[in-house]
């Protein structure tokens, strides 16, 4: 980022990592992670006979043979097949042969680009000029990224040449920007001003000029947005693009653009102000948070996230109730990170508690997630009340939240809710989100050793599709915790039956089978050792169920079982393969 203040760079780096981890607060299931199972990575191998076959196909006269062979080389290289660079010569032959079909020629060019065959850059460039625009779209971006200087003159020439197709003109602008060629910025700016040009051409010119020049374009941007009322949107977009790398000198213009009625313009202006210095965007935050466009609202949150104080986080928290799920999750995760600062912890908890006490489901859901992730015990009473809420999102969040908070005093109410949910599920009238909520409650019972829930969770062991896969998996996992180290032979037999149910109609669901095997090992049901051995636990397959069987048998016997070798899978599905492999 150009013209960033030095103190801001680490802040943006830290925040960028936070913003990218939007799944940080997640209503996950513990049975999916406990025990921790490592499945050996599958090793994909390519036949050594692929390349000779494909080279032979490239040498055939049939168009489809050439095209499919080139496509196979392209895809195989992307998938990790080694030593395909040797195909460059044959691919170049197809590219340059005047008799080649356009489809085969395009496939050959695409494969050469994929192979990063920079030695063929001159041939690719010549072919791009000779064989048309479709080929140029494949070749020229690669030439620009390789910084192939001989082709710059062609891109530069298109900027002023009369009759150039708009697709070729746009391609030239993008390639000049990629190559960092700022020799014709003035021409790009002139195109951006030309109201007789197509809008996409003007916008591309402004974008390229803004990328290539980080200062001095303020006057051109001002000219684009000044004049009579009702300045066209394309003018305002071009102005914002021209200032894409400008610094504080462009503050006034960027502030004007950041409040534009067109969301695409406003986002560009806001983002650039924030990149220069988030302080510059502070006066615009609260109004922008009320914008009808979700992208504007989310961008407006960033200055308060980067420069937080107790008053700003209170305003920021309003977006926990935002209509757009991405915005409210973004802010929720940001508040969770900001709460790690001692001076912001209590203000964030306080404002989230107020939202949790309200009646707007979006805010309630996010506040429940946030307070539970912060282990805010005082929220437990309200979460119990919300177990009956009529939105599946809230039901899921409250079940997960109570599991996270793990307060024994809430267990009777949680069990009462789970019992009523079970009755509704058996009747086939369970609402959305109930399976997830019940699963979270069951996991809480197991973690907190709540034996009063034992009989209810046993009802979820037999196969009953009405009860929900998450609820059943969590019930079996939790029963294993309740009886850890103390085998219950009746349960162990039921678990083994579930684990072996591969031929039922329908067969048992994989998570239920897996948790049944886990709980056999966790409760130390040594009576099932022979059964697990018969299932192959001593020589497990390198799969999740195989590794779970290995874990369970080691729990039962106390003996180490060697980890299986990774599965070796031959890559297949190619248009041409050896018949004997």
Q: What is the mean pLDDT of residues 408-420?
A: 98
Q: Determine contact, residues 219/246, Cβ cutoff 8 Å.
A: no
Q: Is the pLDDT of residue 10 over 50?
A: no
CA distance 439 to 414: 11
| Cα atoms in the Cβ-side hemisphere of radius 13 Å centred on 418 | 34
558 burial class (0-12, 13-18, 19+ CB within 10 angstroms)?
Answer: exposed
pLDDT of residue 577: 85
pLDDT of residue 24: 81
Q: Is 33 helix (H, G, I), strand (E, B) or coil?
A: coil
CA distance 318 to 288: 13
Summarised one tens digit per residue, pLDDT across range 543-554 is 999 999 999 999
Q: What is the mean pLDDT of residues 491-496?
A: 97
Q: Is the pLDDT of residue 411 over 50?
A: yes
Summarised one tens digit per residue, pLDDT across range 340-351 is 999 999 999 999
pTM, to two decimals: 0.89
What class, spelled out in words, does domain 48-146 have in CATH?
Answer: mainly alpha
CA distance 256 to 145: 35
- Domain edges within the chain: 48-146
Q: What is the mean pLDDT of residues 307-328?
A: 97
Q: What is the mean pLDDT of residues 32-56?
A: 93
CA distance 239 to 269: 10
Q: Determine contact, residues 88/112, Cβ cutoff 8 Å.
A: yes
CA distance 129 to 245: 32
CA distance 274 to 514: 49
Q: Determine contact, residues 453/438, Cβ cutoff 8 Å.
A: no
Q: Determine contact, residues 308/344, Cβ cutoff 8 Å.
A: yes
pLDDT of residue 228: 61
pLDDT of residue 314: 97
Helix (H) or strand (E) holding 6: none
CA distance 52 to 519: 52
Considering only CA atoms, which of 496, 445, 503, 506 is closest in space to residue 471? 445
Q: Point out which residues pair with 44 in neighbouring strands.
A: 569
How is residue 15 written in tokens?
Answer: 């925040």
Average of per-residue pLDDT values in the chain: 93
Contacts for 82 with CB less than 8 Å, ≥ 6 apart: 46
Q: Determine contact, residues 150/128, Cβ cutoff 8 Å.
A: no
Q: Determine contact, residues 299/284, Cβ cutoff 8 Å.
A: no
Summarised one tens digit per residue, pLDDT across range 168-227 is 999 999 999 999 999 999 999 999 999 999 999 999 999 999 999 999 999 999 999 997
pLDDT of residue 581: 55
How is residue 73 written in tokens?
Answer: 């080389």
CA distance 299 to 72: 42
Summarised one tens digit per residue, pLDDT across range 340-396 is 999 999 999 999 999 999 999 999 999 999 999 999 999 999 999 999 999 999 999
> What stretches of 180-232 show up as alpha helix (H) in DSSP?
185-193, 199-212, 218-225
């Amino acid at each position: 980022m150009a013209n960033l203040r030095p103190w801001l760079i680490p802040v943006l780096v830290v925040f960028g990592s936070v913003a990218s981890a939007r799944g940080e607060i997640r209503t996950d299931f513990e049975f999916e992670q406990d025990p921790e199972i490592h499945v050996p990575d599958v090793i994909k191998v390519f036949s050594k006979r692929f390349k000779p076959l494909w080279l032979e196909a490239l040498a055939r006269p049939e168009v489809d043979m050439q095209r499919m062979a080139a496509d196979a080389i392209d895809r195989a290289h992307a998938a990790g097949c080694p030593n395909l660079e040797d195909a460059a010569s044959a691919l170049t032959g197809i590219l340059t042969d005047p008799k080649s079909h356009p489809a085969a020629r395009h496939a050959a060019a695409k494969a050469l680009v994929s192979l990063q065959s920079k030695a063929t850059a001159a041939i690719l460039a010549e072919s791009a000029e000779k064989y048309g625009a479709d080929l140029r779209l494949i070749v020229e971006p690669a030439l620009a990224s390789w910084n192939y200087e001989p082709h710059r003159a062609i891109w530069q020439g298109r900027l002023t040449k009369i009759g150039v197709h708009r697709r070729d003109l746009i391609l030239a602008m993008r390639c000049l920007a990629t190559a960092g060629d700022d020799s014709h910025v003035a021409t790009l700016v002139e195109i951006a001003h030309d109201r007789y040009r197509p809008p996409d051409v003007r916008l591309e010119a402004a974008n390229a000029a803004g990328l290539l020049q980080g200062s001095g374009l303020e006057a051109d941007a001002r000219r684009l947005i000044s004049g009579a009322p009702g300045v066209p949107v394309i003018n305002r977009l071009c102005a914002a693009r021209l200032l894409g790398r400008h610094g504080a000198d462009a503050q006034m213009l960027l502030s004007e653009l950041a409040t534009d009625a067109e969301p695409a313009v406003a986002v560009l202006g806001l983002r650039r102000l924030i990149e220069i210095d988030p302080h510059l965007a502070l006066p615009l935050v609260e109004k922008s948070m009320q914008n009808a466009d979700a992208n504007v609202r989310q961008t407006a949150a960033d200055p308060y996230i980067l420069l937080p104080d107790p008053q700003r986080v209170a305003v920021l928290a309003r977006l926990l109730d935002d209509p757009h799920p991405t915005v409210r999750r973004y802010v929720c995760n940001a508040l969770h990170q900001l709460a790690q600062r001692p001076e912001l912890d209590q203000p964030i908890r306080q404002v989230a508690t107020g939202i949790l006490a309200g009646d707007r489901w979006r805010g309630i859901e996010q506040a429940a997630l946030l307070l539970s992730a912060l282990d805010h015990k005082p929220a437990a009473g309200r979460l119990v009340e919300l177990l009956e809420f009529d939105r599946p999102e809230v039901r899921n969040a409250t079940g997960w939240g109570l599991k996270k908070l793990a307060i024994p005093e809430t267990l009777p109410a949680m069990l009462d809710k789970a019992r009523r949910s079970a009755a509704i599920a058996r009747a086939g009238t369970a609402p959305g989100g109930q399976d997830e909520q019940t699963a979270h409650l069951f996991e809480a019972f197991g973690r907190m050793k709540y034996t009063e829930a034992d009989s209810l969770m046993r009802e979820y062991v037999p196969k009953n599709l009405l009860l929900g896969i998450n609820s059943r998996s969590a019930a079996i996992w939790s029963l294993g915790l309740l009886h850890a180290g103390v085998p219950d032979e009746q349960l162990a037999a039921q678990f083994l039956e579930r684990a072996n149910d591969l031929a039922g109609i329908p067969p048992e669901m994989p998570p239920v089978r897996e948790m049944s095997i886990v709980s056999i090992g966790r409760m130390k049901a040594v009576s099932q050792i022979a059964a697990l051995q018969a299932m192959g636990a001593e020589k497990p397959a390198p799969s999740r169920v195989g590794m779970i069987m290995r874990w369970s048998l080691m729990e039962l016997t106390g003996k180490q079982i060697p980890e299986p070798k990774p599965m070796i899978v031959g890559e297949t599905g190619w248009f041409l393969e050896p018949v004997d492999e």
